[in-house]
């Protein structure tokens, strides 16, 4: 073959290949079909209960700055912003206090499994900007500072306990010297209102860094199940703020099965009606994310057709504080989990480990109490769907379809009946059998005007929530 001709063919092949690559890179990822979405959401919809972990440099500071408590309430993961510290001052104080023990991750993983959580979402980077992985595109990360890859340690420990893994990743960044905080009036930054200390900033450079770190996180730790973005404001969101569509495309290309929340955006189509963390709308176009995230708040009703997850603290802070003692009771936590499941949502419950990675004793106790309840009653939570009843005076209900077309209703009783009769009002379906999950004993059922009645023991077997599994014929028929 003449050399010139050969070169021409090679050039054509190269340019066709490059052309195809460019064309592919510019194509938006095809929107998932409903079946594809159902397939990737399946495990998450069945899981119902996850553990959130907020852990970073703020954890060692523990809510104290210059020897004084910064407050007794509220998010101490925001301490850098609360005391208005620039990143160097903050890092100098915080880094010496961040001393992870060798086996901290195993403790988290065991606790999550013991609590009955099916997945764990932890902070790969919070607003402070310190990344827990060994990053090659910066020096403010665990690899550079501690010579450890904490993300790797955590992912391995979670997998060893059979848990699904999620990364919480903050797009807000109080460290990076090109993060142009003046572009948003609404998003927080410790230096807000002050001129940039290093002259003009080029936000595009920060975005390159953000995308590069996310690319590392999506490439180096095997399959990751959740990406939990945090967060956008109405005046700074989406493509303009984060090149969000490209970022989501990058993630999905590397992790085809991952699910992501909606917080790269803050528009009604993406599930937001305003800036409040409870300002949620029950609409979500999947191009903006897979689920919406009411924060510190349980919606009044379910949101059929929209996947949602309430995230909540055990006291009032996400990041560890020595000064926050406002712990929620076991009753509140267990009933919250039930309430959320009865509305078809997930509960992502937070622990804030200390600077050495150990979990506060109060949090261990609470998670274990939930675990003890779940051990007996877990089948009334996992893989259930929302209650068919609009309201039940004595508690909540979840349900599951059984083989053969019947339905199991899980009756979660908060207020035990005094007369030994639990009335399921308006239930017109024929009862088949009823069982107390606490001891597996069968309970008598009868049909009385206005509903099905289950005969129950005089005393509640569980003061917090006793569960009765009531099997009925067919799908639930409810008359009021
Ligand atoms: O990571 C956690 C919070 O730090 C983060 N999202 C959860 C999962 C978050 N960032 N901003 N917001 C939540 C909304 C703003 C909440 C605020 Fe506050 C209430 C800002 C000031 C009062 C909570 C308490 C954060 C700082 C103090």
Average pLDDT over residues 318-346: 98
Q: Report d(CA 250, CA 145) in Å as an integer.
A: 27
476 Cα to the center of ligand 1, angstroms: 40
Binned at pLDDT 50, 70 and 90, residue 324 comes out as very high
Q: Among 378, 405, 425, which residue terminates a domain?
A: 378
- Look at residue 209 and tell me if it is in a domain: yes
68 Cα to the center of ligand 1, angstroms: 21
Binned at pLDDT 50, 70 and 90, residue 137 comes out as very high
For residue 230, the ligand 1 atom closest to its alpha carbon is 6
75 Cα to the center of ligand 1, angstroms: 6
Give the residues surrounding ligand 1 with Cβ less than 6 Å away.
Answer: 54, 74-75, 77-78, 230-231, 277, 295, 311, 318
The answer to whether residues 102 and 165 belong to one domain is yes
The answer to whether residues 351 and 399 belong to one domain is no
Average pLDDT over residues 26-54: 87
**Rounded to 10 degrees, what is the CA torsion of 454, 455, 458, 460?**
-30
Q: How confident is the model at residue 282, as a pLDDT?
A: 86
The answer to whether residues 279 and 346 belong to one domain is yes
Instruction: Say which CATH number the domain at 431 has.
Output: 2.60.40.1180
Q: Whose CA is nearest to atom 26 of ligand 1?
A: 75
The answer to whether residues 139 and 232 belong to one domain is yes
Q: Which residues contact 223 (CB under 8 A, 6 or more apart)?
A: 255, 257
326 Cα to the center of ligand 1, angstroms: 17
Q: Whose CA is nearest to atom 12 of ligand 1?
A: 277
The answer to whether residues 270 and 405 belong to one domain is no
DSSP string, 368-425: HHHHHHHHHHGGGTTT-B--SSS--TTEEEEEEE-TTS-EEEEEEESS--TTSEEEEE
Q: Report d(CA 236, CA 241) in Å as an integer.
A: 5
306 Cα to the center of ligand 1, angstroms: 23
More confident residue, 433 or 27: 433
Nearest alpha carbon to residue 221 among 309, 105, 129, 103:
105
Nearest alpha carbon to residue 308 among 254, 271, 267:
271
The answer to whether residues 192 and 330 belong to one domain is yes
Q: Which residues contact 9 (CB under 8 A, 6 or more apart)?
A: none
Least confident stretch, 95-99, 113-117, 272-276, 324-328: 272-276
The whole-chain average pLDDT of the chain stands at 94
The CA-atom distances, in angstroms, between 140 and each of 59, 146, 212 are 16, 10, 14
Between vectors from CA 351 to CA 348 and to CA 356, what angle results, nearest 5°? 150
Q: Residue 87 is encoded by which pair of tokens?
A: 């990143």
Least confident stretch, 117-126, 166-175, 277-286, 418-427: 277-286
pLDDT tens digits, one per residue of 336-380: 999 999 999 999 999 999 999 999 999 999 999 999 999 999 999
Q: Residue 114 is encoded by which pair of tokens?
A: 């013991």
Q: Whose CA is nearest to atom 13 of ligand 1?
A: 277
Q: Report d(CA 101, CA 350) in Å as an integer.
A: 20
Nearest alpha carbon to residue 174 among 194, 145, 146:
194
Q: Among 335, 351, 378, which residue terminates a domain?
A: 378
375 Cα to the center of ligand 1, angstroms: 32
Q: Whose CA is nearest to atom 16 of ligand 1?
A: 277
- Look at residue 390 and tell me if it is in a domain: no
Average pLDDT over residues 9-24: 39
- Look at residue 103 and tell me if it is in a domain: yes
Q: How confident is the model at residue 19, as a pLDDT?
A: 38
- Residue 53 C-beta-side C-alpha neighbours within 13 Å: 33
Q: Among 350, 378, 406, which residue terminates a domain?
A: 378
The answer to whether residues 357 and 422 belong to one domain is no
Q: Is the pLDDT of residue 6 over 90?
A: no
The answer to whether residues 25 and 129 belong to one domain is yes
The answer to whether residues 204 and 77 belong to one domain is yes
Instruction: Say which CATH number the domain at 117 has.
Output: 3.20.20.80
Number of other residues whose CB lies within 10 A of the CB of residue 226: 23
The answer to whether residues 307 and 416 belong to one domain is no
The answer to whether residues 178 and 64 belong to one domain is yes
Cβ(344)–Cβ(302) below 8 Å: yes
Q: Report d(CA 201, CA 235) in Å as an integer.
A: 19
For residue 311, the ligand 1 atom closest to its alpha carbon is 8
- Look at residue 383 and tell me if it is in a domain: no
386 Cα to the center of ligand 1, angstroms: 29
Mutational test site, ligand 1, from 53, 73, 78, max ligand atoms within 8 Å of CB: 78
Q: What is the 3-state secondary structure (H, E, C) of 245-291?
A: HHHHHHHHHHCCCCEEECCCCCCHHHCECCCCCCCECCCCCHHHCCE
347 Cα to the center of ligand 1, angstroms: 18
- Look at residue 354 and tell me if it is in a domain: yes
- When computed from its CA atoms, the radius of gyration of the chain, rounded to whole angstroms, is 25
Q: Whose CA is nearest to atom 6 of ligand 1?
A: 230
127 Cα to the center of ligand 1, angstroms: 10
Nearest alpha carbon to residue 154 among 260, 63, 52, 229:
52
Q: Is the pLDDT of residue 43 over 90?
A: yes
Q: Report d(CA 458, CA 460) in Å as an integer.
A: 7
Looking at the chain, the whole-number percentage of residues with pLDDT higher than 90 is 90
Question: Per 3-state DSSP, what percentage of the chain is helix, strand, and coil (rounded to 5)?
Answer: 35, 20, 45
Domain total for the chain? Answer: 2
Looking at the chain, the whole-number percentage of residues with pLDDT higher than 70 is 94
The CA-atom distances, in angstroms, between 136 and each of 144, 176, 201, 215, 219 are 9, 15, 22, 11, 13
Q: Rounded to 5 degrees, what are φ and ψ at 208?
A: -60, -45
Q: Is the pLDDT of residue 31 over 60?
A: yes
Q: Is the pLDDT of residue 16 over 60?
A: no
Q: Whose CA is nearest to atom 15 of ligand 1?
A: 277
349 Cα to the center of ligand 1, angstroms: 15
Q: Is the pLDDT of residue 3 over 60?
A: no
Q: How confident is the model at residue 259, as a pLDDT?
A: 97
User: Crossing angle of helices 361-377/104-115, nearest 10°?
Assistant: 40
pLDDT tens digits, one per residue of 419-437: 999 999 999 999 999 999 9
Mutational test site, ligand 1, from 75, 293, 297, 313, max ligand atoms within 8 Å of CB: 75
Q: Whose CA is nearest to atom 11 of ligand 1?
A: 231
Cβ(55)–Cβ(352) below 8 Å: yes
Cβ(354)–Cβ(59) below 8 Å: yes
Q: Which domain holds residue 21?
A: 3-378
Average pLDDT over residues 279-304: 94
- Look at residue 385 and tell me if it is in a domain: no
- Look at residue 388 and tell me if it is in a domain: no
The answer to whether residues 448 and 373 belong to one domain is no
Nearest alpha carbon to residue 171 among 120, 232, 215:
232
- Look at residue 477 and tell me if it is in a domain: no
State the DSSP H helix or E strand holding residue 7, giving kind and residue range, or none if neither.
helix 3-26
pLDDT tens digits, one per residue of 445-478: 999 977 999 999 999 999 999 999 999 999 999 9
């Amino acid at each position: 073959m003449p050399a010139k001709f050969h070169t021409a063919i090679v050039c054509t092949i190269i340019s066709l290949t490059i052309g195809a690559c460019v064309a592919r890179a510019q194509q938006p990822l095809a929107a998932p079909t409903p079946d594809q979405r159902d397939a990737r959401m399946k495990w998450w919809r069945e899981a119902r209960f996850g553990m959130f972990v907020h852990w970073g440099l703020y954890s060692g500071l523990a809510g104290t700055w210059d020897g004084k408590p910064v407050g007794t309430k509220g998010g101490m993961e925001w301490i850098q912003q609360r005391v208005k510290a620039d990143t160097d001052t903050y890092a100098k104080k915080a880094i010496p206090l961040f001393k992870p023990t060798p086996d901290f991750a195993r403790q988290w993983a065991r606790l999550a499994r013991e609590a009955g959580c099916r997945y764990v979402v932890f902070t790969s980077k919070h607003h402070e900007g310190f990344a827990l992985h060994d990053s090659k595109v910066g020096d403010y990360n665990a690899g550079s500072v501690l010579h450890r890859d904490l993300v790797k340690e955590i992912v391995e420990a979670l997998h060893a306990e059979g848990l699904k893994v999620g990364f919480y990743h903050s797009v807000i960044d109080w460290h990076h010297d090109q993060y142009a905080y003046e572009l948003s009036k609404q998003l927080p930054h410790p230096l807000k209102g002050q001129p940039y200390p290093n002259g003009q900033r080029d936000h595009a450079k920060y975005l390159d860094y953000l995308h590069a770190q996310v690319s590392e996180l999506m490439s180096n730790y095997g399959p990751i199940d959740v990406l939990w973005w945090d967060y956008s404001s109405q005046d700074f969101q989406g493509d303009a703020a984060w090149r969000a569509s490209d970022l989501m495309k990058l993630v999905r290309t590397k992790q085809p099965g991952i699910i992501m929340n909606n917080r790269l955006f803050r528009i009604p189509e993406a599930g937001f009606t305003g800036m409040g963390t409870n300002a949620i709308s029950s609409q979500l176009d999947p191009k903006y994310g897979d689920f919406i995230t009411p924060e510190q708040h349980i919606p009044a009703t379910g949101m059929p057709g929209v996947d949602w997850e309430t995230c909540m603290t055990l006291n009032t802070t996400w990041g560890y504080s020595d000064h926050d003692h406002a712990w929620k009771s076991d009753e509140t936590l267990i009933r919250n989990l039930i309430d959320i499941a009865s509305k078809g949502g997930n509960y992502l419950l937070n622990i804030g480990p200390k600077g050495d990675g150990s979990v506060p004793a109060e949090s261990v106790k609470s998670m274990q109490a939930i675990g003890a309840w779940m051990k007996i009653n877990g089948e009334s939570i996992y893989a259930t769907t929302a209650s068919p009843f609009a309201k039940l005076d004595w508690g909540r209900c979840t349900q599951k379809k059984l083989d053969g077309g019947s339905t199991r209703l899980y009756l979660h009783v908060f207020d035990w009946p005094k007369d030994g009769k639990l009335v399921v009002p308006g239930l017109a379906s024929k009862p088949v059998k009823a069982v107390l999950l606490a001891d597996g004993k069968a309970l008598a059922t009868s049909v009385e005007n206005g509903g099905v009645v289950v005969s129950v023991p005089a005393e509640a077997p569980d003061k917090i929530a006793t569960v009765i599994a009531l099997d009925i014929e067919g799908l639930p028929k409810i008359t009021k």
